[in-house]
Structure 1
């Protein structure tokens, strides 16, 4: 949390653009100072506003980020876990910093904003590695920004970054902090453990139905099935169609030739060259001869009395005023000199630097261009198929009939959960598990009804019908017998081993050695190891090692070991502190934590200094808790 707050307060938007895959983190900055009025303000902090759009966009993107790790998480679950309130609190704290930075007159220049945008890899052409206005406009469209709002947000981020950097200047943590961390991290402990395996539980009988039903009822949280829905799905997108699209080789060659002629396949050639204005051809040839002999250009100018030559640096051919001179210069290589009769007379031309990027040949580009053409053709095919599909439905056809007439595949899913998990197969439905729009429609459409034709993914559309709904209920024994019996057996084994664990722990606490206890309990054994925090070895799992590092020296404790079914009674026999000499990673971690604490203290002070007002209705609407009117 400390790192996220500090990252929020500094300049994440620029980081976002540089590492485009982490788009979600950018949303935590919102748009605080570009709207007029207060009608859409979820919160106001002094003169700064956190708008409904800020909170809504941030919440949605943070939920998507969490779903990359846990696809089954819904926005409602994330909000219930505190994400919504955290988002609002972070945006409010960030607004407080913005307000203070504005009052202090801190500003970001147009040049700074332009430099970040034009140097961001996300906005550069894949062919020229230069800023591409089209790529910039497309990114803005996909992320839901306008150029004005995005650039205002970037300007605000830069202003906050300057303020926070100034506040952190000279913030150096005392050396003792790093030394204490090093001692803590480097500490090792010698652990002896009496291992009590599950085999000591003996034979576990087979439970009857009454026992299992009682066990299921007593463990309702584990055996309650969520609501399940059977759906019929019709969906189509260019990605599904493009593998079947044949690309005409002549069109492929035409596209390559066009891209090559327009310079889209590689960076444009560049030249840096000098040109002397001469009265005649002979004078131009004399200068060329002197240059070829290795004479310095500055000396040539002085000797001929022609004055300094005109120098053009890193120019493309179209930028050379005289097209004849430009053509000649781009025919020449670095270090070459030539007398050229331009449109305005003779010139001596000397190329100081030449850049001629290699243009990829047709064979190396064919697959990429073929994919592009197939994708474009697939988009048209999708639209044609959907037009036919909708025409059929308008005539009264069912989903099945319309899909068949349009040549669109029909999919049926038999009782899946809201997170796309199929109970009958016990596996996730990977083809739709990340399709948020489809899952939402599947869970909100009433039984027996169809959803609207809805866009999803990149250029795709879907429509579905909920054929049946099975409400949430406690699973019947017949459906979960195998799982219930396995769970019941584990519980019986654990209960039986607990008696042995309790006895062994009492004897160890009374001073009896673990070896003596093991000798009196057949099937147990004692093992010993020395480990640091986070290390594991054999039966010494993280659970056992963690318990050992929480225990006092020579004080017995119990823990789980191995596969978690094995029980253990352990004793820490020796504790060796770390050296106290921190490495660079430890120093860096301490410095970041120290700076985080300063930023948090700064935010709290600013929030105490400014009046903070929250609009609960707009906040809840932005977080998806209520419907907006």
Structure 2
């Protein structure tokens, strides 16, 4: 993300993305991604700036969710780690911390006026008329679970980092000696035609000899080998099992209610309206007029200020501290003194007060009982886990321990590592909870026959797995895979015929035959492709259809051919394909000024990005970057 933002640095797009990121961070609760030192067990330390383990985890989780939007549920946290997203997250946060440390070192600050100007020109806060709307601003912050002061602080941090980037990542001038060759390379267009031989459409005569099938069977024995299967017994100890064993008395419920009575109360709520102006004197004039008997609307109109806007119903702590104290000191119709914020000067008034509401014990009785039972069940699970380990340590089997302690025991019949039975269905007894099933299989497959796993944590308790029996990988009998062997033989014959056919057609094309005349659908199909660039994207053409697109291997071959009319055979998933270069349209930088200028900007941005990265690495070395990998591993 840092690299992407650098490419757009200085544009309204980048600033808009900074705003969206801040709002997103607010939702995730990342209000302190980077802070001054003092907290224990920091994940990353740069100088005296620290990044907390929680911040690393939250930033990593956000990356996982972003990729999950593209890849679906297959993007797990473990997959993300294998892809390097954890390392990328740490590097980005380390660079952010380095920028903050550099800003502190250089004394770079951002004034209230600069923050106010950035907020007012942020398009996310514009109304339909294209003007800044305080109501939309507040609504956006409320949606993101952010206070105004919290948002202002985060925006100030972003602007300070932006200033650091502008200092260390000024895009350099890109000379024609660099831009022109890159332009010619990237913008060159080539037109091609192709002839594809489809193996599946070719007819194979004759039958395979017994020795041919036996040879195939031996050559592909791994494909015809059943995986390892295991029978697994699992003992579970869960919160739900323990809930029925814990007692919650009426006295417990009453005591909990008394000790937490405040949490069952809704604090006083106030309906607030405000007028915002740019100077203190005007705000004071409005307040004086209201105290003199005017309505807030009339007072605002008298000084030509905007009409009062509603802030809705707010509770204690919903407003910045100074405003919160002033608002909750008012009576209905009262007006505050002028209060300053980064957005200007405010006066607040109250239109209604909703008294605090207290839920009775009867209203919350069942909820308290359930909550206490669940809490005690968790404690009970921990106690029983120690009893379970002592019981097993004393020589009891899983069956005996389950019977003695009243725990659940179940068996998974003949399963492979993926939870599949020999017939391809899900194994009998496999838990419906996919996460638990995967955990059990992961714990059970390293075990020897009769061996039990250590006590394993799961989402709602613990489990122990035992490998009851192990069936090693076994080649399936040749006669049981006869049909698959015959199909494999046919496919090989078709592939050989297709390869020979493609070579034959290539010779005819080299001899001058027109490609289109050699098509013999459905076995051999002809395509005339739109002009395309090196990235494989077709250039719109009035007389050509862009489909079918050329594969990356075909595109690479087209651009490797040196003369128009040259051809080559390329292996594709559809079968061997002969591609022929029909035309080359060389790019002329002098005739494409707009595209050349865009390329120069792109190259300059890339160079600036590289410079910034190197500079941040250098400053990091100067300040000292410490990455506590054990803390990060624990956090992730």
In which range does the TM-score fall when normalised by the shorter chain? 0.5 to 0.7
Partners in 2 of 1:83 and 1:599 — Cα distance? 20
Match status 1:571 vs 2:580: yes
Question: Which secondary structure state, in structure 2, belongs to the residue aligned with residue 604 of structure 1?
Answer: helix
Match status 1:18 vs 2:18: no
Which shifted more, 200-209 or 104-113? 104-113
What is the TM-score normalised by the length of structure 1?
0.55
Structure 1 portions without partners, runs of 5+: 137-150, 242-250, 279-283, 301-310, 331-349, 358-368
Match 2:555 to one of 532, 541, 546: 546
Question: Which secondary structure state, in structure 2, belongs to the residue aligned with residue 269 of structure 1?
Answer: strand
Match 1:326 to one of 314, 328, 331: 331
Partners in 1 of 2:27 and 2:330 — Cα distance? 48
Aligned ranges for residues 135-534 of structure 1 at < 5 Å?
160-168=161-169, 189-198=190-199, 199-200=201-202, 202-203=204-205, 205=207, 208=210, 210-217=214-221, 230-233=231-234, 234=236, 236=238, 262=266, 268-271=270-273, 326-327=331-332, 376=371, 379=374, 383=378, 386=381, 393=388, 410=410, 412=412, 414-417=414-417, 425=424, 431-433=433-435, 441-442=443-444, 448-452=451-455, 454-456=457-459, 460-468=460-468, 476=476, 489-518=490-519, 523-530=523-530, 532=532, 533-534=536-537
Match status 1:557 vs 2:560: no
On the 8 A contact 1:178/1:582 being kept in 2, the answer is no
Correspondence for 1:603: 613
Question: Which secondary structure state, in structure 1, belongs to the residue aligned with residue 455 of structure 2?
Answer: coil
Q: Deviations over 1:551-576 (max 9, x none)?
A: 54422122356xx2333212232355
On the 8 A contact 1:560/1:568 being kept in 2, the answer is yes
Partners in 1 of 2:631 and 2:527 — Cα distance? 57
TM-align CA RMSD: 7.2
* Offset, 1:526: 2.8
Question: Which secondary structure state, in structure 1, belongs to the residue aligned with residue 415 of structure 2?
Answer: strand
* Offset, 1:465: 0.6
What is the TM-score normalised by the length of structure 2?
0.54
Structure 2 portions without partners, runs of 5+: 120-135, 244-252, 276-285, 317-323, 336-346, 355-363, 539-544
On the 8 A contact 2:42/2:52 being kept in 1, the answer is yes
* Offset, 1:505: 1.9
On the 8 A contact 1:191/1:573 being kept in 2, the answer is yes
Correspondence for 2:130: none
* Offset, 1:449: 1.1
Q: Deviations over 1:429-468 (max 9, x none)?
A: 8842598866654566666214325242xxx223131325
Partners in 2 of 1:445 and 1:121 — Cα distance? 58
* Offset, 1:497: 1.3
* Offset, 1:534: 3.5
- When residues 565 and 34 of structure 1 are mapped into structure 2, their CA distance, relative to the original with a 3 A threshold, is same
- When residues 509 and 105 of structure 1 are mapped into structure 2, their CA distance, relative to the original with a 3 A threshold, is farther
Question: Which secondary structure state, in structure 2, belongs to the residue aligned with residue 202 of structure 1?
Answer: coil
Which shifted more, 595-604 or 183-192? 183-192
Q: Deviations over 1:303-339 (max 9, x none)?
A: xxxxxxxx99969698798999825779xxxxxxxxx
- When residues 566 and 35 of structure 1 are mapped into structure 2, their CA distance, relative to the original with a 3 A threshold, is same
On the 8 A contact 2:19/2:155 being kept in 1, the answer is yes
On the 8 A contact 2:420/2:426 being kept in 1, the answer is yes
On the 8 A contact 2:272/2:348 being kept in 1, the answer is no
Correspondence for 2:541: none
* Offset, 1:158: 6.9
